[in-house]
Amino acid sequence: MDAGFGEAMIALLPNLRRYALSLTRRGDQADDLVQQTVERAIANAASFDRAQRLEPWLFRIMRNAFIDQTRRQRREGTKIDIHEIPEALPTDPGPGLEARLMLQSVEAAMAELPPDQREILHLVCVEEMSYAETARILDIPMGTVMSRLSRARLALSERLGIR
Amino acid sequence: MTPGAYSGQDRDKDGAMQIDDETLMALADGELDPARADEIRRAVAGDPDLQARLHRFEETRRLLGGLRKDATGEDPLAAMIRAAAAAPHPVQEAPRPANLNRRPWLAAAASAAVVALGLGWWQWTDAPAPGIGAAELAALESLSSGQVQPLEDGGELAMIASFRASDGRLCREYETARDEVLRIVLACREGDGWQERFAATAQQGGADYRPASGEGSIDAALVAIGAADPLTPEEEAVMLRE
């Protein structure tokens, strides 16, 4: 692994933290997941094709690590109220109150969606992955990306009252 | 698929363009090629219904984009990555606990000591596998991965994951907890029943925890059946119905 690769990965750490939080919905598990992802990425840096974008490659590693982790989770429930996760809520004082309330409604509406819909919304609309990249990260056909994403968008817009 | 390869369009018998949701979404997401995007935009411009449908996709995209917060300060992992990048030799996987990606399980089984590892492979025979009780068989047939159900003797069963073996059969990994004993099992569908392919037990309460590793590990068992990644919930549901 060279310094350029390292810096590129460092620049994507915020994105990894966001995706980890979206997958695990818990701050402590998300931290573990990011660390595991980074360790695996460093160990496998040689296998990364430099012609590809780094971001989808890292997301795929993270998703596989998450599946490994999930396999090992026993009783720890997945039903966590979004308001119990301070990290999941926008905390920066930047946007005005109204904008922050809107962000909170979006977070809350996302939290009510099935996990597969939440995940695809996050990858495409938050992380700005293309449909093709998303298909590779999730290991599903492009047609499935589009149908699932479209259903998720319509479900979200219903919950947010967008007509 | 290349942008624009998706058509999603038809014309009804009056010649009016029918545009489906996925095409409108692809337009909102910038996934259509420019010519196709122009065509759809022209159709949308003259049709309030299409405008309303497009608006839902544009608006959800815009709102979700607001969740992309800028990070403040340097990430604590940055230093670790720089150190790895500066390593003079190609980085090898650092020495670490064999159960690195078992951390959540380790936590769950905190201070459990493995007293018996297991132990190998049950032979492929027609005899019912020892250890698979009726409740476990029922769970194998129907319980989704990630779910926990009580067992008849007061224990508890957690379904961990499902896999497709290289020969196509369904295999499932689960754990049972009974009287302080954790049992980890990999079972594969065999005819109308299930065969145990791997089992290991861990006794809770010891001072140390030793992960199952090497020959007798669940990982080795998964490799031996040729399992790829765990099945998705959808794939699992389909295979359970078969």
ipTM exceeding 0.85?
A: no
Q: What is the DSSP letter of B42?
A: H
Q: Give percent of chain A above pLDDT 90.
A: 54
Q: How many CB atoms lie within 10 A of CB B133?
A: 14
Q: What is the rounded distance in angstroms from the CA atom of residue A65 to the CA atom of residue A73? A: 13
Residues in chain B closer than 8 A to A116 (CB atoms): 232-234
Interface contact B81-A38, CB threshold 8 A: yes
If pLDDT is split at 50, 70 and 90, which confidence band does A64 have?
confident
Mutate to test the interface with B, among A42, A138, A145 (most CBs of B within 10 A): A42
If pLDDT is split at 50, 70 and 90, which confidence band does B9 have?
low
Interface contact A153-B63, CB threshold 8 A: no
Contact B221, B119 (CB under 8 A): no
A76 plus A108 within the same structural domain: no
Q: Which domain holds residue A157?
A: 94-163
Q: Establish, for the pair of chains A and B, how many residue pairs have beta carbons separated by less than 8 Å.
A: 180
Interface contact B75-A10, CB threshold 8 A: yes
Summarize pLDDT for B78-119 with one digit per residue, the tens. Answer: 888 988 888 765 444 444 444 334 344 443 443 333 333 333
Q: What is the rounded distance in angstroms from the CA atom of residue B113 to the CA atom of residue B148? A: 23
A76 plus A99 within the same structural domain: no
Sign of the dihedral through C-alpha A67, A73, A79, A83 = negative
Q: Which residue shows structure tokens 């573990």?
A: A32
A67 plus A99 within the same structural domain: no
Task: List all residues of chain A from 56 to 75 with a beta carbon under 8 Å from chain B.
Answer: 64-65, 67-75
Closest C-alpha among A30, A35, A32 to residue B81: A35
Summarize pLDDT for A2-32 with one digit per residue, the tens. Answer: 888 999 999 999 999 999 988 887 888 889 9
A75 plus A39 within the same structural domain: yes
How many residues would you count in chain B?
242
Interface contact B69-A154, CB threshold 8 A: no
- pLDDT over threshold 60, residue B206: no
Which of residues A80, A102, A130 is at a domain's end? A80
Contact A152, A141 (CB under 8 A): no
A1 plus A74 within the same structural domain: yes
Contacts within 8 Å (CB) and 24+ apart, B33-37? B33/B2, B33/B3, B33/B4, B35/B4, B36/B4
Mutate to test the interface with A, among B58, B101, B149 (most CBs of A within 10 A): B101
Q: What is the pLDDT of residue A41?
A: 94
Is A45 near chain B, with CB under 8 Å?
yes
A54 plus A7 within the same structural domain: yes
What is the distance of C-alpha A38 from the center of its chain? 15
A76 plus A125 within the same structural domain: no
Q: How many CB atoms lie within 10 A of CB A57?
A: 19
Q: What is the rounded distance in angstroms from the CA atom of residue A153 to the CA atom of residue A104? A: 17
- Strand partners of residue B113: B203
Report for A103-107, B118-122, B129-133: range of highest mean pLDDT: A103-107
Q: What is the rounded distance in angstroms from the CA atom of residue A30 to the CA atom of residue A91? A: 17
Is A132 a member of any domain?
yes
Q: Give percent of chain B above pLDDT 90.
A: 21
Cα→Cα distances A122→A16, A60, A114, A116, Å: 12, 14, 12, 10
Residues in chain A closer than 8 A to B70 (CB atoms): 14, 92
A71 plus A139 within the same structural domain: no
How close is the nearest chain A Cα to the Cα of B166, in Å?
18
What does residue B192 show for φ and ψ, rounded to 5 degrees? -90, -5
What CATH number is given to the structural domain containing A124?
1.10.10.10
Tell me which H or E stretch contains B37: helix B34-45
List all residues 6 or more positions away from B42 whose beta carbon is below 8 Å from its beta carbon: none
Is A85 a member of any domain?
no
A98 plus A71 within the same structural domain: no
Interface contact B86-A3, CB threshold 8 A: yes
Q: What is the rounded distance in angstroms from the CA atom of residue B4 to the CA atom of residue B32? A: 5
Q: How many CB atoms lie within 10 A of CB A55?
A: 21
Sign of the dihedral through C-alpha A117, A122, A123, A125 = positive
Q: What is the rounded distance in angstroms from the CA atom of residue A37 to the CA atom of residue A35? A: 5
Mutate to test the interface with B, among A18, A39, A116, A136 (most CBs of B within 10 A): A39
- Strand partners of residue B18: B10
**Residue among B72, B91, B106 minimizing CB distance to A43:** B91
Is A52 near chain B, with CB under 8 Å?
no
A101 plus A60 within the same structural domain: no
**Least reliable range by pLDDT among A103-117, B149-163, B199-213:** B199-213
Is A142 near chain B, with CB under 8 Å?
yes
Is residue B17 classed as helix, strand or coil in its secondary structure?
A: strand
Closest C-alpha among A61, A63, A37 to residue A116: A63
Task: Give chain A's domain count.
Answer: 2
Half-sphere exposure of A89 (CA within 13 A, CB side): 15
Q: What is the pLDDT of residue B116?
A: 32
What is the distance of C-alpha B50 from the center of its chain? 37
Is residue B197 classed as helix, strand or coil in its secondary structure?
A: strand
Name the token pair of B160.
């961990």
Closest C-alpha among A34, A72, A61, A71 to residue B104: A72
Look over chain B and give the mean of its residue pLDDT values, rounded to a whole number.
Answer: 73
